[in-house]
Every structure is written in C-alpha cells, then in structure tokens.
Homo-oligomer: A and B are copies of this chain.
Amino acid sequence: MADSSTKDLIVREARICFANQGFDGTSLNDIAAGVGIRRPSLLHYFPSKDAIYQHILELALEEWGRQIDERPTSGDGDCWAQVDSILEVSFEFFRTNPEIVRIVRREALTEKGHLDFDLGTALRPYFLRAVRFFEREMEAGRFRRHDAENLVLTGYGALLTYFSDHRMLTGLLDEDPFSSRALEARFAHVRDFVRSALEPLVTE
C-alpha cells in the first residue's frame, strides 16, 4: 500500500476489474481509466493484457502460499488447534483478499485458460498436504473417519463460496454478508460444523 508507483496502481486496479468483470469483460480502457492514465501507457509497463493477468495470478498464488506456509501453529500442537489454524488462515486470507478469491474462482470455472497456467496443478501440493494431515489424524483415531480428499474439498467449497458468491449472498440474506457480525458467525459456524463432524463419538 505504501508504494504507489504507477505499475502498482495498474496491478491494483486490474485486480479489481478482473475480479468484478472477468478477463474478457475487462478492457484496457477500464484499467487505464481507473489508474488515471491512457490506454497505451499501460503497455509501457506490461507487454499485453495477458501479461497483466498472468502477473496478478502469480502474485495471488504466491501470496496465498506464503500465508499458508507461514502459518503460526504448524508445530506439533494438538490436532484441533491445527484444524482451527488451517481454517483461520484460509478464512482470513479470503476475507482480506476478496479480489483474489473471485479471480481464482473464475479461473477454476474456465474450461481452458488463456495461459499455460493450471490452477489445479498449482494448488495440488497444498491439497495433498492437507489430505495427508487428515488421513494421519483419522488413522490415529483422533478424528472420525471420512474420505480425506472429499473432506478437504468440502472445506474448500464451504470457505471459498461464502466470499466468492458475495453478490448472491447479499440477495439471499437480510444482512450484509461481509459485516463483522456476519463474518464472525460464518467462521464460528464452519469451525463448529467441521468439529461436529470430526469429533469422535466416544472420547477415550
């Protein structure tokens, strides 16, 4: 936020446009107008529209990965603290990066990307890590048995959808889904719901 170089302003404005209108729905004019410069000036910083988009996507995944990797409690705390930590970091990242959420979701939807880039391949290491964690804990009897891969996908969908489908939720609910009260209720629900499903029925 501190650095307000033109290039950064372009990236920030483009991120908003791509999130709101998608790649095809965004014109270089839209971005330039938001920054306050003319269209050809954009291409002084990036060789093409594709390049802007790719850059934003790479920044986004880099940031996402960093937040996950730098997760505080990745030590050997108890398994529930781990789950809460995973949920909290993801929730917090989605909340503070709503544009990235929508861009990633659009990318997941599009049958064939404009680039060589593949979202599934990029996220696979994180997915597999989460799957292995749940399998280990379920094997040890600390979590109730579920299909680990589907469990992670369910969590992903439950978290991401709340932020990506914001516009629809606004029509569905009486309250702004991004109000602090609604967000707290959402996080509490997801945490408790997951806990309800994973908690063993008999505690040793």
Contact = CB atoms under 8 A, between A and B. Distances in A.
B192 A146 contact: yes
Q: Name the prevailing secondary structure of the A interface residues.
A: helix
B158 A111 contact: no
Nearest to A198: B196
Contact of A124 (B124, B127, B171, B196): B171
Nearest to A120: B171
A59 interface: no
Interface string A144-164: 101101110110111111101
Nearest to A101: B109
A185 B147 contact: yes
A110 B106 CA distance: 10
B162 A157 contact: yes
A203 to B, nearest CB: 11
Contacts of A119: 167-168, 171
A189 B146 contact: yes
6 contacts: A22-B22, A24-B24, A108-B167, A121-B171, A123-B168, A151-B189
The 5 closest A-B pairs by CB, nearest first: A120-B171, A157-B161, A150-B189, A24-B24, A108-B168
